[in-house]
Homo-oligomer: A and B are copies of this chain.
Amino acid sequence: MGRNQDIPKAVIKRLSLYSRVLQNLEIKNVQKVSSKELGELLGVNSAQVRKDLAYFGQFGVPGFGYYVSELRSKIKKILRTDRPLKIGLIGVGNLGSALLSYTGFKKQGFHIIAAFDNDKRKIGKKHSDIIIQDIANLEKTIKEKGIEIIILTVPVEKAQEITNNVIDTGITTILNFVPIRLIVPDYVRVHYVDLSIEIESLSYYVK
């Protein structure tokens, strides 16, 4: 793919934050933005903004800034969110169910197209337009549907075993909601969703 894997994870993370901030500016009909303004919206300095974007080529006009829509569509192209992502989810418990019906994903154009569980009472039932499949069909379904990202919402004690199975199917990108570190080969990218980080920073503002 010619994608440079040496770009720091935090830069990629900020790209998705830039994208969100730019989306909000678009909604407000703002046409252009400077690196200083972008930095202020994200809480980093303008040099960091320019440095982040410089990883991916020449953006913006010195002394003028960036065109909001142009920058956003370029960032979407870099992140490859300019096309529908094929997402599967494993573990249709409370959190899994919540994510299947999470309107925040649909708002961004992300659709979960397959869900798996090992509970016979859940398998075959419909949930948010998806029929829950037996996890025994994992490999077959991932290949048939061309699934690219797996969301993991399984119990802690099952997470590593299921991760191994996921990797065996050829999946290399996992979004892990289970609060444990997974052991994976170097070529597999796991993002951890740590819901307590948000509470931690909110704590600062408690009066």
Contacts and interface: CB of A to CB of B under 8 A. Distances in A.
A105 B149 contact: no
A23 B18 CA distance: 28
Name the residue among A16, A19, A199 with the largest chain B CB count within 10 angstroms: A199
Contacts of A3: 204-205
A203 B85 contact: yes
A173 B81 contact: no
Nearest to A42: B10
A184 interface: no
A12 interface: yes
Interface size class of A (residues with CB under 8 A): 35 or more
Given A98-B93, A149-B203, A179-B102, A196 B9 contact: no
A107 B9 CA distance: 24
Contact of A149 (B16, B19, B48, B202): B202
Interface string A92-126: 01110111011111011010000000000000000
Contacts of A99: 195
Interface of A: 1, 3, 5, 8-17, 19-20, 40, 42-45, 48, 51, 78-81, 85, 87, 93-95, 97-99, 101-105, 107-108, 110, 148-149, 151, 156, 172-173, 175, 179, 189, 191, 193-207
